[in-house]
Amino acid sequence: MQADYVIVGAGSAGCAMAYRLSEAGKSVIVIEYGGTDAGPFIQMPGALSYPMNMKMYDWGFQSEPEPHLGGRRMATPRGKVIGGSSSINGMIYVRGHAKDYETWSDMGAAGWNYADVLPYFKRMENWDSGGHGGDPDWRGKSGPLHVSRGSRKNPLTRAFVEAGRQAGYPVTGDYNGEQQEGFGPFDSTIYKGQRWSAANAYLKPALKRDNCTLVRGMAEKIVIENGRAVGVQLNKGGKSEVIRANAEVIIAASSINSPKLLMLSGIGPAAHLAEHGIDVVADRQGVGKNLQDHLEMYIQMAATQPVSLFKYWNLFMKGVVGAQWLFTKTGVGASNQFESAAFVRSQAGVEYPDIQYHFLPIAVRYDGKAAAEGHGFQAHVGPMRSPSRGEITLRSANPAEAPKIVFNYMSHEKDWEDFRKCIRLTREIFAQDAFKPYAGKEIQPGKDCQTDDELDDFTRQHVESAYHPCGTCKMGAKDDPMAVVDPECRVIGVDGLRVADSSIFPQITNGNLNAPSIMTGEKASDHILGRTPLAAENAMPWINPNWETSQR
């Protein structure tokens, strides 16, 4: 088997590249280990807690015991299914802040500042505000990726935004438009009541073309001859075969599996490869380093009125919701229930938001266990730019074995300060008049948790990953010893090989990573095709004029 381009990974970026490269008339083979995304657990937005806890759809990675979290092993779900993590995520759509991309550019990713990436966000989007305001001039209207907003009918969803306003924060009509900072409605990758994953948006239309093929199997290594990538060695049903690439091999296997595959192929820190008996093709010290993620915690409140989603949290009502969704694609099942968001700054002197809120009108854990108190609500809150960095390393030279993941979470004093602030700012928001009709007691952390030490203990035990790992194949200047790919996503030191997914982010972006990952696939496609990138758009995003002197 051979094609012009062989893409490893049918995730967010891989699907976008398969679509764009095949659209341009190139032959494409996409290699994916996971299976089909058919069935209600993935396609029904309201069922989002299921697929990320199902072995069938999730790689099931876990971190090593995290030294600063009392040795906790942290779940690191990654999608093992077409669409990758866009098929098991919370469907939240956040481009990131304009300043995130200025930072990328400053770090050596030339051509990736906000003016450069905005046209790609517009190209990929098909945005529908659903009558909830927004910034149409900043949004795309005809791309493959449908982006929409929930009904926002739940009174708690509206109370959250009003409480933010009462606490003195700005309100924004579109955090993906001119102004990210403030409280407002969430955007989600949902279309006509169905999860609109990268598989639905990009891969399925691409596979309808004669020149795009999906092959199932485990990529074992990149085949490199005379310094050039010429194919991918694939394990299919216990047999190894090579799929050859006439033009290039493109790795889009996630921030966990992309560095693993590079190292198995001899591209990575030479001493580490030698430990595992792997011949060095290119000594790239940065492969697997620079691992970043967002941590978050839930601040949970009991509700004094039966207004939360708890009324659906029994077998009978789940059946009713499921049936309504199956037959009409409407109702509670048609939303991810994350309908209100906020991005705020933690203190004066911080130029752009460094805290994100997801508001949920029920008190429930990610694994779907509801709070004992019944009716309630919660805000997921966490800092956006942790200084902590971790790494991905090989456990062995066996491709079937999961890599070692050490996030090194909370390894910096700033992380602890940030979480104390997050908890205290959230309590202040929940104490506003907008929540007076609904707010009962604080379930978690609980009113007895007040001092710095108590908050730190609570954080150590209860903080969770927001599942946004990135950064392990950093994009940067060719002369940066820690860069893995150049600004056109080419692996430095090997010809005919690129990496394009969230692993190339030099620094994590604000918010959820699905949108920037798809944008990476869109922009990389133009680099791969040798096209002139889309013309830069110098739209000036809003920065709080008083950022130097006030927190809000």
Which residue in the block uniquely carries the two structure tokens 């609109």?
196
Q: How far is CA 377 from CA 154, 295, 363, in A?
A: 11, 19, 5
Where are the chain's structural domains?
Answer: 1-61+75-146+188-287+470-528, 151-185+295-383+410-462
Q: For the segment 48-62, what is each residue's pLDDT rounded down to a tens digit?
A: 989 988 999 999 999
The model carries a pTM of 0.98
In terms of Cβ atoms closer than 10 Å to its own Cβ (0-12, 13-18, 19+), residue 372 is exposed
Distance (Å, whole) CA 60 – CA 55: 7
Superfamily classification of domain 1-61+75-146+188-287+470-528 = FAD/NAD(P)-binding domain (3.50.50.60)
**What percentage of the chain carries pLDDT values higher than 70?**
100
The b/e string for 458-468 (b: 16+ C-beta within 10 A; e otherwise) is: bbbeebbbbbb
Q: How far is CA 156 from CA 69, 153, 159, 437, in A?
A: 32, 9, 5, 10
Sequence ranges of the binding site for FAD: 81
Provide the pLDDT for residue 371.
78
Exactly one of 146, 358, 468, 527 is catalytic; name it.
468
Give the Cβ contact number of residue 454 at 10 Å: 14
- With contact defined as beta carbons under 8 Å apart, do 376 and 300 qualify? yes
Q: How far is CA 477 from CA 251, 269, 290, 458, 482, in A?
A: 19, 18, 15, 41, 9
Known catalytic residue at 468: yes
Q: How far is CA 341 from the centre of its chain?
A: 16
Q: Record the tokens describing residue 432, joined without a space.
A: 């506003």
Q: For the segment 261-281, what is each residue's pLDDT rounded down to a tens digit?
A: 999 999 999 999 999 999 999
> Quick one: which of 133, 131, 126 has its CA closest to 147?
126
> Quick one: which of 198, 175, 43, 27 has its CA closest to 124?
198
Q: For the segment 21-49, what is each residue's pLDDT rounded down to a tens digit?
A: 999 999 999 999 999 999 899 999 999 98
Give the Cβ contact number of residue 419 at 10 Å: 25
Distance (Å, whole) CA 45 – CA 191: 10
Residue 444 φ/ψ, nearest 5 degrees: -145, 130
Q: Record the tokens describing residue 48, joined without a space.
A: 């989002």
Sequence ranges of the binding site: 81
CATH number for region 151-185+295-383+410-462 = 3.30.410.40
Distance (Å, whole) CA 113 – CA 523: 12
Range in 91-100, 126-135, 329-338 with the lowest mean pLDDT? 126-135
pLDDT band of residue 131 (cuts 50, 70, 90) is confident
Average pLDDT over residues 168-186: 97
